[in-house]
Amino acid sequence: MKKNFSLFLALRYLQPRGTAVSIITLISLAGVTLGVGVLVVVIAVMTGFEIKIKETILGMEPHISLNLAGEGFAIGRMEEDEALESGLLPSRWDKVREKFQGLGNVAAVYPFVEGAVLIEVDVNGEKRRRAQMMRGVYLGDEAQNAQLRKLMIDGMEPDLDGDKVIISKQLGRTMGLRLGDIITLVSSKNVEELLNAVEEINEDDTIGTEAKGGAISDKIKQLVVPTELEVSGFFDSPWFAEVVVVPLEIAQDVYSLGPNVHGLDVQLTDAYRADEILRKFNDADEIPPYWIGSTWIERNADKFAAIRNERAMLYFVLFFIVLVAAFSIMNTMITVTVQKRREIGVMKALGAKESQIIWVFLAQGMIVGVVGTLSGLGLGALVVHYRNEVRAFFAATFNREIFPEAVYGVTEIPAKIVGTDVAIIAVGAFLLCSLAALVPAMVAARLDAAKALRD
């Protein structure tokens, strides 16, 4: 006991004996517990949302996307045979595809067509029109089908046989669409060609005013060729994007591309090495001239940066809860040192060193910090585990839904506890509690023994 009297006294002072000091100690302990628990829950939910975003993006977006910079720009600077051999012509995208399929770390390469379309639907006799993104996918690759299958809701299959289309559930909800409904697609390219044709007709002085109306009507019939498709399924799209997915052949017809495509999607064996592999391809001149590559990480850099900033701000803000609890510990230690003034004087008169006095009170703060941190981690893990049950309870009790699906696009709250986050929270809370106890401990250790005993 003589050797460990600092710890012995620290434990004695912490024992609840119905005094105000004991109550304050318990309040400080509860403050640390709640602060750490809130930190664990919020950071776990933020991490879960980040992982959910990445999984959703990876489920829909290619790891590397290759787009032709411009057919005319490319071919204008080389012979046509050379352009065909290099795969510069969109109609020879298969050359580029074959080149990539032979490279390492590449799981699949498939073409795509992507662009804006005008959608028209008839809902209960009401015509609804909306401009949306359309993506034409190549169904001859099992990797593409597997990705779509993961995103389909309610166990649906990505049925794109014939004149079928699958749409995001967000778009289905907005437009009031159901399975079996017919939607009409009109390419933005048709609209552009129509506007150019109308402008040419209006500028043609050889055509009379009355004849111009008929000529414009004929052009509309020639250029605007709508495509009717049946809704065969719904899928979760990347973060509220309203998208329609059609077979590659239909997308080529909508955009009048013939055998051409807008680009190639590359799926890798490891999606998180996309930047490294694209850089390697560029350095080795594996990507033909005028084909531009971009990774899913580059395309979504703003989203990931926003999430990282939010996490950092939440760390900063929520640690103030632990800081408030640390001030409570400091208040407790100040109260203890005032009440134990005579005991401190006796200890110093008996030859106790300043370091031993410091450890009596510092150990109290450290014990509160350790117990509060551990209980906070346990509370946070418990809430994270039963987060959806807690969400349902609050929704039923207060008639207010937490993380509504219509806003956040998730049926369950995503969450993941990461060891690194737990370590940062635990160490940070322990250090704050220890530092809070250190200041009054040092003041107590410098107390003059004679003055303390005389008082």
pLDDT digits (tens, 9 = 90+) for 300-334: 888 888 888 888 888 888 888 888 888 878 887 78
Q: Is the pLDDT of residue 25 over 50?
A: yes
Both tokens of 273, joined, read: 């090495």
Q: Where does a domain end: 248, 278, 299?
A: 299
Asked whether residue 353 falls in the same domain as residue 427, the answer is yes
pLDDT at 1: 41
Proportion of the chain above pLDDT 90, given as a percent: 3
Asked whether residue 250 falls in the same domain as residue 263, the answer is yes
Q: What is the pLDDT of residues 42-69, one digit of tens each?
A: 899 888 888 887 777 776 678 888 876 6
Residue 398 CB partners (closer than 8 Å, separation 6+): none
Q: In 3D, which of 166, 119, 162, 172 has the Cα closest to residue 147?
A: 166
SS3 content of the chain, % helix, strand, coil (to 5): 60, 15, 25
Asked whether residue 130 falls in the same domain as residue 12, the answer is no
pLDDT at 316: 83
pLDDT at 374: 92
Asked whether residue 399 falls in the same domain as residue 292, the answer is no
Rounded (10°) angle between helices 354-385 and 301-339: 140
Residue 211, number of CB atoms within 10 A of its CB: 12
Q: Is the pLDDT of residue 285 over 70?
A: no
Could you tell me how many helices (H) and strands (E) the chain has, helices first? 19, 9
Asked whether residue 223 falls in the same domain as residue 246, the answer is yes
CB 411 within 8 A of CB 401: no
Asked whether residue 392 falls in the same domain as residue 275, the answer is no
**CA dihedral defined by 49, 54, 60, 62, rounded to 10 degrees?**
170
Asked whether residue 169 falls in the same domain as residue 245, the answer is yes
Asked whether residue 125 falls in the same domain as residue 18, the answer is no
Asked whether residue 101 falls in the same domain as residue 112, the answer is no
Asked whether residue 96 falls in the same domain as residue 35, the answer is no
Overall number of domains in the chain: 3
Asked whether residue 182 falls in the same domain as residue 236, the answer is yes
What does DSSP say about strands 227-235 and 164-168: parallel, antiparallel, or unpaired?
parallel
Q: How far apart are CA 29 and CA 26, in angstroms?
A: 5
Read off the pLDDT band of 31 (50, 70, 90).
confident
pLDDT at 196: 62
Q: pLDDT averaged over the chain?
A: 76
> Domain residues for 72?
64-105+269-299
Q: How far apart are CA 361 and CA 338, in angstroms?
A: 12
Give buried/exposed letters for 307-342 (b at 16+ CB in 10 A, else e): beeebeebbeebbebbbebbebbbebbbbbbeebbe
User: What single-letter DSSP state applies at residue 289?
Assistant: T
pLDDT at 218: 54
- Angle, alpha carbons 171-173-177 (nearest 5°): 85
Both tokens of 56, joined, read: 């959703």
Read off the pLDDT band of 379 (50, 70, 90).
very high
Asked whether residue 165 falls in the same domain as residue 151, the answer is yes
Q: How far apart are CA 26 and CA 16, in angstroms?
A: 9
* Mean predicted confidence (pLDDT) in 383-404: 83
pTM of the model: 0.64
pLDDT at 122: 80
Q: Where does a domain end: 267, 289, 318?
A: 267
Q: Where does a domain end: 299, 320, 345?
A: 299
Locus of tokens 């015509």: 127
